[in-house]
């Protein structure tokens, strides 16, 4: 049974359409690009590509989370390591250090679904940085099982934030050797869905 859950971990690792969560009817007041931060974690570049799409549309500062000790490249090895981290509550140390968080009003958080959960490195970021009072907007890539508990975990950790409606889209299935998918027709489809989402959040005008 444990082996099943270990192998299940990164099957859910990457990348559905928009999900409904806290803040469904809330919108972001018009905000300057320099007040927007886009923080993301990406293993096979699918989440990174979605993060870059968001930056293209709304501007903002784009930052990738990096670990002090990077995860192994081997799929089964990272499955086992992350499963253990989730079991023990271990938060991997981050090399990424954002020193000017206070200047941002809107923070996008991007991550894949790992084992139906929020990845430990994103938990590390949220646990070590105070986002109180900010508008937090999650976005996600997955391998077919959507967001799992990841958005709920963001809501729990960021209880003093205003959490707005998140975005989720299907990406690769690393377990099956299907990695980067954000190109061609898939890229166009995701861009269209993402623009509709940003318009609903009032971060993008319909004539852009």
CA-based nearest residue to 82, from 62, 60, 67: 67
- pLDDT by residue (tens digit) across 67-76? 999 999 998 9
Report the candidate in 64, 73, 91 with the shortest Cα–Cα distance to residue 10.
73
Percent of the chain with pLDDT over 70: 84
The three-class DSSP label of residue 189 is helix
**Model pLDDT, residue 67:** 98
Cα 154-129-57 angle, rounded to 5 deg: 65
Of 24-28, 29-33, 194-198, which range is least confident? 24-28
CATH code at 126?
3.40.50.360
Enter the pTM of the model.
0.86
Residue 205 lies in a domain: no
Structure tokens at 201: 């959040």
Q: Is residue 208 part of a domain?
A: no
Alpha-carbon span 102 to 20, nearest angstrom: 28
Residue 68's pLDDT is what?
Answer: 98
pLDDT of residue 123: 98
Give domain status of residue 129, yes or no. yes
**Helix, strand, coil percentages, rounded to 5, for the chain:** 40, 15, 45
Domain count, the chain: 1
User: What is the DSSP track for 72-135?
Assistant: PSSHHHHHHHHHHHHHHT--PPBS---TTGGG-SEEEEEEE-BTTB--HHHHHHHHHS--TTSE
Q: Are 75 and 52 in contact (CB under 8 A)?
A: no
pLDDT band at 204 (very low <50, low <70, confident <90, very high): confident
Q: Domain limits at 70?
A: 2-200
- Give residue 26's pLDDT band: very low, low, confident or very high (50, 70, 90): low
Would you say residue 206 lies in a domain? Answer: no
Portion of the chain with pLDDT greater than 90, in percent = 73
Residue 180 is predicted with a pLDDT of 82
Note whether residue 67 is domain-resident. Answer: yes
Average pLDDT score over residue span 141-150: 90
Q: Tell whether 207 is covered by a domain.
A: no
């Amino acid at each position: 049974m444990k082996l099943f859950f270990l192998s299940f971990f990164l099957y859910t690792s990457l990348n559905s359409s928009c999900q409904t969560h806290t803040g469904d009817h809330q919108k972001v007041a018009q905000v300057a690009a320099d007040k927007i931060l886009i923080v993301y974690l990406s293993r096979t570049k699918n989440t990174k590509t979605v993060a870059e799409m968001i930056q293209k549309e709304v501007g903002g500062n784009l930052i990738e989370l990096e670990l002090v000790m990077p995860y192994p490249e081997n799929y089964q090895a990272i499955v086992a390591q992350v499963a253990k981290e989730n079991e023990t509550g271990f938060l991997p140390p981050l090399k990424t250090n954002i020193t000017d968080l206070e200047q941002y009003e809107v923070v996008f958080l991007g991550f894949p679904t790992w084992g139906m959960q929020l990845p430990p490195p994103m938990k590390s970021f949220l646990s070590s940085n105070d986002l109180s009072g900010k508008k937090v907007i999650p976005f996600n890539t997955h391998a077919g099982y959507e967001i799992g508990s990841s958005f709920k975990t963001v809501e729990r950790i960021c209880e003093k934030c205003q959490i707005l409606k998140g975005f989720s889209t299907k990406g690769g299935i690393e377990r099956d050797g299907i990695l980067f998918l954000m190109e061609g027709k898939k890229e166009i489809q995701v861009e269209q869905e993402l623009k509709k989402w940003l318009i609903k959040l009032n971060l993008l005008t319909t004539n852009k």
